[in-house]
Amino acid sequence: MKMKIIVLFLASAFLTGCTTNKEELMPSGEYNMMEIWQGKTGERVSTKHVTQQARNDLSRSLTDKEQAQQISLSESYSRTQETELSQQFPRLPNPDMVMYVFPHLSQGNLPVPGYSTVFPFYYQVQYAMPGERTEAL
């Protein structure tokens, strides 16, 4: 029993000796976050200038060559699983009825904005077999 108390006392004394306070571990510095955000740190380089320069560098428009490369890149991936399946098994026509729901109040008198919704005429999507004719005769 006495041995447990001695071990407990030594462990707590050892752990207490390893502690530090917040200011020793992470000093706060001379500026608070609002002063740093507003650029009042007194540094020679203006953070506003650096930020504006970074925005100018990043917000340039694409050149003609870059636009052409972007178009050719998107066209180079023409054969995908999705296009392969849609070519082998085309969807049979299933007309949609688009309805617009006008803005209204819900049951709890909360405003609901207007929105569009789509109802297919048939419940299930039908696919044509490979080689089956899908266009009108």
For 98-124, b where at least 16 C-beta lie within 10 A, e where not — what string? eeeeeeeeeeeeeeeeeeeeeeeeeee
Q: CB–CB of 117/86 below 8 Å?
A: no
- Lookup: tokens for 106: 């819900």
Q: CB–CB of 101/117 below 8 Å?
A: yes
115 Cβ contact list (under 8 Å, min separation 6): 100, 101
Give 97's strand partners. 119
Q: Please give the chain's pLDDT, 137 residues, in tens.
A: 888 888 888 888 777 767 777 777 777 777 777 777 776 666 555 667 777 777 777 777 778 887 777 766 665 555 566 666 666 778 788 888 999 999 989 888 889 999 999 888 888 888 888 877 767 64
